[in-house]
């Protein structure tokens, strides 16, 4: 995922102070081409 972020193919929602990336489920679903599932 770091490579995809560095290639601007995927954009993290936030980057933590420790350098980890956080992504929204909707962004990941759009990137992967699948629909996000409800967590109910």
pLDDT at 36: 57
User: What's the token pair of residue 36?
Assistant: 């996000």
What residue has token string 């972020």? 5
Phi-psi region of 13 (alpha: psi -120 to 50; beta: other; left: phi over 0): alpha
Q: How far apart are CA 31 and CA 27, in angstroms?
A: 6
Task: Output the pTM of the full model.
Answer: 0.66
Buried b (16+ CB within 10 A) or exposed e, 1-12: eeeeeeeeebeb
| Whether 27 contacts 10, CB under 8 Å | yes
pLDDT in tens, the chain (40 residues): 899 999 999 999 999 999 999 999 999 888 888 765 655 5
């Amino acid at each position: 995922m770091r490579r995809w972020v560095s290639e601007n193919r995927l954009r993290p929602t936030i980057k933590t102070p420790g350098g980890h990336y956080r992504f929204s489920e909707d962004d990941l679903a759009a990137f992967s081409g699948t629909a996000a599932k409800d967590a109910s």
